[in-house]
């Protein structure tokens, strides 16, 4: 467990200068967003509420908020979910469990990743002569031992830094620290809402996408050559939590933001509303015809971009409540073509018949607690 050591020394002018863990504090190290990783302690899981996910077919699947995983092949090779197995002072982690003894092919990629928005990484100044050194720290546990790896990468997939770390004891939580000199070349997204930086943890990376550890490469690399493949052993487990990426060459203690603040930070990319009773009110609007309504859904924070919508896929799980009557939808709610912004969305909620134009309407869950609305603005 990291401890915070503060030392005060007299500087050349006769004044006092404090050091933290032998590092002189700077504007970067003292700011309120020291850790650029969001949900690094895996507490928040709006998407799955702790349920297991088995990604397939070369697609990203989100294990917990801000943390997608990737499986480059057809068919699932691992499952992933939030866990309560965690080191002291943490409550949650994410656990990956291999579903077979899969032999990774040259072009295969299996990894766990966070995409960092350009607004949150631009001050790293990667791609310039002023590129800053950054430090990645995290807690990890696995049923396997040996040299594991991951990488930092730009949005264009043509600048990457494979890193390695060693797990010495099986099924034991260990803290790892990796210091990385900033990349002085290449193209990096600056202060925009685009993808500024990727932080990968390899779970099984083929030789095509592996490279030399500890050096920037002008290519797409997810892990160092020879890193342990979690998917290569049936039933193997790999846990991670307490992930922190910060400016400087010293890993400071994990930045513990309050739950409400961390949730709002996650809701910039994903906002989920679940039915908590049989007739949960999702939003309010009006009937514009006998068969259609426009429903306004205010969003709790400004999202990164205009969001897309995801529903249960069963139209009858939703209904319109208007003038004392409940009418089931005949198609799932969808984003309206009129007005949508990063802080509010209008939804089309259609029914077969029976509405009166101009009357107020509410979108509700239709006698069930399984429906939900999810809004995505991920990188």
pLDDT tens for residues 87-127?
999 999 999 999 999 999 999 999 999 999 999 999 999 99
pLDDT at 9 over 90: no
Asked if the structure places residue 29 within a domain, the reply is no
Are 237 and 354 in a shared domain?
A: no
The per-residue pLDDT for 114 is 98
pLDDT tens for residues 138-183?
999 999 999 999 999 999 999 999 999 999 999 999 999 999 999 9
Are 92 and 169 in a shared domain?
A: yes
Asked if the structure places residue 24 within a domain, the reply is no
Are 141 and 244 in a shared domain?
A: yes
Are 224 and 366 in a shared domain?
A: no
Q: Of 232, 250, 266, which marks where a domain is finished?
A: 266
- Residues 6 or more apart whose CB falls under 8 angstroms from that of 359 comprise 286, 287, 322, 323
What is the dihedral angle through the alpha carbons of 324, 328, 330, 336, rounded to the nearest 10 degrees? Answer: 60
State phi, psi for 82 to the nearest 5 degrees: -70, 145
- The C-alpha atoms of residue 213 and residue 314 are separated, in whole angstroms, by 48
Asked if the structure places residue 25 within a domain, the reply is no
pLDDT tens for residues 237-246?
999 999 999 9
Are 277 and 258 in a shared domain?
A: no
Are 198 and 59 in a shared domain?
A: yes
User: Which residues sit opposite 361 in a β-bridge?
Assistant: 285
Are 163 and 309 in a shared domain?
A: no
> Greatest CA separation found in the chain?
82
Task: Quickly state the pLDDT bin for 11 (edges 50, 70, 90).
Answer: very low
Are 67 and 215 in a shared domain?
A: yes
Domain that holds residue 328: 270-376
Domain of 246, CATH number, reads 2.60.120.260
Task: Quickly state the pLDDT bin for 13 (edges 50, 70, 90).
Answer: very low
Are 207 and 72 in a shared domain?
A: yes
Number of domains in the chain: 2
Nearest to 271 by CA among 372, 379, 371, 365: 372
State phi, psi for 118 to the nearest 5 degrees: -55, -35
Asked if the structure places residue 38 within a domain, the reply is yes
pTM: 0.90
User: Can you give 236-291 as a three-state secondary structure string?
Assistant: CEEEEEEEEEEECCCCCCCCCCCHHHHHHHHHCCEEEEECCCCCCEEEEEEECCCC
| Average confidence (pLDDT) over 297-304 | 94
Are 144 and 238 in a shared domain?
A: yes
Q: Of 266, 300, 329, which marks where a domain is finished?
A: 266
- The C-alpha atoms of residue 365 and residue 316 are separated, in whole angstroms, by 9
């Amino acid at each position: 467990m990291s401890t915070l050591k503060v030392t005060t020394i007299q500087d050349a002018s006769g004044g006092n200068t404090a050091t933290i863990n032998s590092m002189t504090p700077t504007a970067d190290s003292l700011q309120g967003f020291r850790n650029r990783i969001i949900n690094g302690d895996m507490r928040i899981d709006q998407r799955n509420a702790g349920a297991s996910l088995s990604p397939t077919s070369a697609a990203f699947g989100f294990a917990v908020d801000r943390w997608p995983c990737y499986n480059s092949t057809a068919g699932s090779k691992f499952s992933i979910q939030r866990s309560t197995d965690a080191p002291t002072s943490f409550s949650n982690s994410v656990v990956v469990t291999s579903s077979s003894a899969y032999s990774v092919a040259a072009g295969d990629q299996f990894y766990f990743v966070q995409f960092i928005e350009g607004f949150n990484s631009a001050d790293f100044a990667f791609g310039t002569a002023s590129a800053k050194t950054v430090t990645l720290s995290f807690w990890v546990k696995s049923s396997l031992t040996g040299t594991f790896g991951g990488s930092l990468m730009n949005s264009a997939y043509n600048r990457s830094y494979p890193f390695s770390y060693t797990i010495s004891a099986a099924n034991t939580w260990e803290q790892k620290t990796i210091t990385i000199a900033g990349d002085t070349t290449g193209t990096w997204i600056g202060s925009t809402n685009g993808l500024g930086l990727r932080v990968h943890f390899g779970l099984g990376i083929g030789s095509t996408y592996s490279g030399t550890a500890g050096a920037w490469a002008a290519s797409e690399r997810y892990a160092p050559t020879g890193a342990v493949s979690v998917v290569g052993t049936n039933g193997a487990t790999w846990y991670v939590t307490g992930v922190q990426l910060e400016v400087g060459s010293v890993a400071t203690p994990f930045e513990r933001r309050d739950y409400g603040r961390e949730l709002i930070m996650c809701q910039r990319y994903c906002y989920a509303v679940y039915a908590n009773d049989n007739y949960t009110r999702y939003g309010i609007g009006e009937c514009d015809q006998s068969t259609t309504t426009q429903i306004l859904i205010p969003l709790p924070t400004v999202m990164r971009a205009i969001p897309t919508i995801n529903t249960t896929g069963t139209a009858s799980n939703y209904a319109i409540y208007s003038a004392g009557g409940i009418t089931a939808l005949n198609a799932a709610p969808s984003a309206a073509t009129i007005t949508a912004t990063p802080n509010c969305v209008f939804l089309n909620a259609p029914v077969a018949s029976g509405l009166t134009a101009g009357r107020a309407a509410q979108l509700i869950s239709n006698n069930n607690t399984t429906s939900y609305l999810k809004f995505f603005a991920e990188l």
